[in-house]
Amino acid sequence: MFLKAGALSLALLLASRVFGLLRESAQAAAFGASGLADVAVLMLTLPDWLTGVLASGALAYVLVPAWAGETRARVTASERAVARILLALAAALVVALVLARAFVVSHLAGGVPASMVPTATTALTWSAFALPAALLASLWTTRLQHEHDFTGMYAANLVVNAVLILAILVAAPRVIQGDALQWLGGGLLAAMALRLAWLRWRMRPALQDPADPGAGRIALPAPPVWLWAILSAGLPLALPFVARSVASQAGEGALATFNYAWKLVELPLMLAIQLVATLAFPAIAKGMAASDEAGTARAVQGAIALAWTLACAAAAALLVGSPAIAQLLFGWGRMHPEALERVAQWGAIGAWGLLPQALIAVALTVLAAGGRMRVAVLAYGLALVLLLVAARLGVADGATLMGLLNLLLGAVAVAVLRALGPQLRAWMPWRALAIAFASLAVLAILSLSLPMPETLSLAAGLATAVAAAALVMGLTWWGSPELRAALAR
């Protein structure tokens, strides 16, 4: 039963990521890499991004432990109290975004042409009105997490992306008429409302328990705990978003181009690397709680070996196959070849950032299991400050920003690894790290010295990317007992 439920949840998680990618593909086909695409990307991503930074991760960090072992009546009372706070926060954000919409657009989508600024401010208004539903959905998702209803959680993302894909398909033919964003804005609100309806429906079993008038509310942690939770969850999300906003200052279409390029990096990061860290968390937490040094070492070593190898394999695929991958995902409709070439180039540069992010994902899992997230918060905070300083100095080119993100993520990786303490040396799967990186380096050198023929077909380019990833995985599996042990478990 548990295996079946876990497999279904994993399938829904993967499906939600694939639907998210299909949404980006439909968006690229509908709007290309234009000023209108910049506005559409900002409008559709801002509500969930703000929710992710301010609420989603923090609610899980704080409420799931606080609700553990409590009665459903007390959990429901606590949930309703938090809902009132979130709705008040949403109202304040709506007012602030509507009043300061021109200022927000100038900073988050600075490349939008002056003639399109009124359209962008209208789009931002749609985003603002979607915020209350997005914030409330984050709370109800946390409640489903507490109830172990992972199917309901992941299916909610399917609902959102399915509705948004439909809205994009409806809006695309109306670009010429000039009312495409109105249809897209209506689709955004419909997606948020339907997600709430789905989450509420999945919560029915938890809400059918008879109320306990004397239950009272659960005492929630003090504001400093919430602040650290918000920073822990929000700062990693802020770094690529701020880089995208800085890239938008380079001109029309730069925001959309950077967004699509980052999706090439984000896909393996979410579907493979962070999934490995998530699956390793129970074993790591169990080993640390039981003071089982050998068990903890095996779990951490296996997670690092697998996450690092997957990162090197994905980076190899992007280095040799980013033009074909970009063509497959975004080379449709109104996407121009020049913009598609930049997507591929920037994505190939960003691929190197997968390596430090693999180490960060596992290190954060260990730090979270031990309740030691402050170093990560400080490291990400410093990285964000340095990114803003670079923006202030005039850095806005997408390729340069991707390279800068790689360096900043590398610095974060060093900081969080050092925070693991002296046992890190014993935890590191040195052979797996060396073989996977050496394989990637050789492929990178070959890709530079032997550039792919311009006449290479899409199928051949994709096959080359798959072969590069398989080569890295195969060589590392052959030469690394740590990786073989991790895959055996």
Cβ atoms 311, 276 nearer than 8 A: no
| Cα gap 74→146, rounded to integer Å | 13
Give 102-155 pLDDT, tens digit per residue. 999 999 998 899 889 999 999 999 999 999 999 999 999 999 988 888 888 888
At residue 480, φ and ψ (nearest 5 deg) are -125, 110
CA distances from 486 to 91, 118, 434, 477 (A): 48, 54, 16, 10
> Rounded to an integer, what distance in angstroms lies between the CA atom of residue 139 and that of residue 147?
13
Closest CA to 339 of 266, 250, 265: 250
pLDDT of residue 217: 62
Of 271, 234, 239, the closest CA to residue 258 belongs to 239
Percentage of residues in the chain having pLDDT higher than 70: 93
**What would the mean pLDDT of 151-179 be, rounded to a whole number?**
88
The per-residue pLDDT for range 409-419, each reduced to its tens digit, is 999 999 999 99
- In the chain, where the domains are located: 1-218, 222-489
59-104 pLDDT tens trace: 888 888 788 777 888 888 888 889 999 999 999 999 999 999 999 9
For 71: left if phi > 0, alpha if psi spans -120 to 50, otherwise beta; the answer is beta
Rounded Cα distance between 280 and 430, Å, is 19
Q: At CA 483, angle to CA 479 and CA 485, rounded to 5?
A: 115
Asked if pLDDT for residue 212 goes beyond 60, the answer is: no
Give the model confidence (pLDDT) of 426-456 as tens digits: 889 999 999 999 999 999 998 887 766 666 6
**Among 45, 19, 95, 37, which Cα is nearest to 238's?**
45
**347 touches 261 (CB < 8 A):** yes
Note the pLDDT of residue 209: 62
Amino acid at 481: P
Contacts for 170 with CB less than 8 Å, ≥ 6 apart? 183, 187
Name the percent of the chain in helix, strand, coil, to the closest 5. Answer: 85, 0, 15
Cβ contacts of 230 within 8 Å, gap of 6 or more: 53, 54, 55, 57, 58
Contact 149, 8 (CB under 8 A): no
Task: Count CA atoms within 13 Å of residue 278 on its CB side.
Answer: 10
Instruction: Identify whether the C-beta of residue 248 lies closer than 8 Å to the C-beta of residue 34.
Output: no
How many angstroms separate the CA atoms of 300 and 308, rounded? 12
Please, which residues have CB within 8 angstroms of residue 390's CB and are 6 or more apart in sequence? 246, 401, 404
pLDDT at 289 over 80: no
**Is 228 in contact with 84 (CB distance < 8 Å)?**
no
What pLDDT was estimated at residue 1? Answer: 32
| 273/351 Cα distance (integer angstroms) | 13
DSSP code per residue over 90-104: HHHHHHHHHHTHHHH
Scanning 393-457, the segments in alpha helix (DSSP H) are: 398-419, 424-427, 430-449
Residue 407: other Cβ atoms inside 10 A: 14
pLDDT at 5: 42
The distance from CA 244 to its chain's CA centroid, rounded to whole angstroms, is: 13
| Rounded to 5°, angle at Cα 316 from 311 and 320 | 150
Distances (CA, A) of 478 to 341, 432, 470, 473: 35, 10, 12, 9
pTM above 0.95, yes or no: no
Task: Describe the crossing of helices 374-392 and 354-369 by its angle, rounded to 10 degrees.
Answer: 150
Q: Do the Cβ atoms of 17 and 154 come closer than 8 Å?
A: no
Residue 339 CA: distances (Å) to CA of 93, 206, 407: 34, 49, 25
Does the pLDDT at position 344 exceed 90?
yes
